[in-house]
Amino acid sequence: MLQRSSEPHSARLYTSHERLLRCKAQGLAASRLKVVRPHSIQAGVNRSARLGRGTEFIELRPYSPGDDIRHMDWRATARSDASWIRAFESDLNFAVTLVVDQRTALFFGSERYTKTLLSAELAAIAAWDHLHLGYAVQFIFVEDHGLRASDACRTERELERELALLARIQNQGKPFQKEEVAHSSEALLDYLVSYGSHRDVFFFSTLAAPSLLDEKQLAAVADHHALKWINISDRLDSDLRNLRGMHIADRNGSLSLDDLGVSALTRYRQAVLEQARDFETSCKHTATLCYAVSSGTSAHNAYSANRGFGRFEGEP
């Protein structure tokens, strides 16, 4: 149920590869805003987009897809069952992971856009900005049936390839589609912890669906990385009274949403609000920064209003 708009209906349900490419011009990297880098190890890094390796060795960390095998530590690898990479200063300075939630539960929006569309386009804008700031950009796409982790993108061509995949994933969404839930929060936790330390991780998700990570898992990831959670919300998430007057029907029957009792609506609202409060508490305990985005605003406006979700500060 999307509100009337001058935009084509399909353009508010689905994104496209072309739209994700146009997100390149919607970021803030070219502005005069100050870039905020949360880790002390990044304090001396400027805004140049240099992609060379630093010379100062920082730590050993598990090998991740996309790492340069020239920096493989073969002695450490031979002593264990895992592959280890030698991390240098610039590797840690220029790493960001974007977790993009594309589960069926997010293919919904009662205002202007579907949540999966906003999740994809917000991640695309953030990806272009970070690439231009010199970061290696990695995606984790979360679907009903599992996760897809991309290789690290260090060039525009590599990023364009991953955005094409993201567009295909988002375009598979269908309203009222039955979920084939196989997403594992343990698998997501393993991915994120295996990346070593000092990485920025952005979650583009919602609180109106089963959380990508529980409180303990969020704390475990926060021990390694700086976390930012972008909650894409809708007015119906917490108040189903806005559905009154709607009628849903298919070949098997129909339901008038006026039949929903007041007590049931009240219980639902209380449960959603309690879940949101619990998550906010978890974020405070783990120093996770939370941002709210409404399904009634565009990705461009939401990204700019939130200064790239804390990546930038100041006035243009």
Q: What is the DSSP string of 85-98?
A: EEEEHHHHHTEEEE
Angle at 300 between CA 299 and CA 301, to 5 degrees: 95
Residue 316 domain flag: no
Rg (CA), the chain: 21
Residue 216 domain flag: yes
pLDDT class of 129 with cuts at 50, 70, 90: very high
> Mind listing the pLDDT tens digit for each residue in 231-259?
999 988 876 655 555 544 445 555 455 55
Number of domains in the chain: 1
> Mind listing the pLDDT tens digit for each residue in 168-192?
999 998 866 655 555 578 899 999 9
Residue 105 domain flag: yes
Residue 188 domain flag: yes
User: Which of 141-145, 265-269, 284-288 has the weakest average pLDDT?
Assistant: 265-269
pLDDT of the residue at 72: 85
The candidate with the shortest Cα–Cα distance to 203, out of 228, 168, 220, is 228
pLDDT class of 298 with cuts at 50, 70, 90: very high
Residue 64 domain flag: no
Cα maximum dimension of the chain: 68
Residue 101 domain flag: yes
CATH number of the domain residue 129 falls in? 3.40.50
DSSP letters spanning 123-137: HHHHHHHHHHTT-EE
This prediction's pTM: 0.77
Q: What are phi and psi of 7, to 5 degrees?
A: -75, 150
Q: Which amino acid is at 244?
A: R
Q: Report the distance separating Cα 204 and Cα 278, nearest Å.
A: 18
pLDDT of the residue at 32: 84
Pair type for strands 136-143 and 95-101: parallel
pLDDT of the residue at 52: 42
Q: Report the distance separating Cα 60 and Cα 273, nearest Å.
A: 42
Whether residue 123 has pLDDT greater than 70 = yes
Answer whether 119's CB lies under 8 Å from 232's CB.
yes
Torsion angle of C-alpha atoms 89, 223, 148, 79, degrees rounded to 10: 70
Pair type for strands 57-62 and 247-250: unpaired
Angle at 202 between CA 93 and CA 49, to 5 degrees: 35
Q: Which amino acid is at 286?
A: T
Q: Quick check: helix, strand or coil at residue 167?
A: helix
Pick the residue with more confidence: 170 or 91?
170
pLDDT of the residue at 280: 85
Assign 3-state DSSP to the chain and report helix, strand, coil percentages, each to 5: 40, 20, 40
Q: Report the distance separating Cα 50 and Cα 263, nearest Å.
A: 59
- Give the structural domain span for 196: 9-29+94-311
Pair type for strands 253-256 and 247-250: antiparallel
Length of the chain: 316
Residue 47 domain flag: no
Residue 48 domain flag: no
Whether residue 276 has pLDDT greater than 90 = no
Answer whether 289's CB lies under 8 Å from 228's CB.
yes
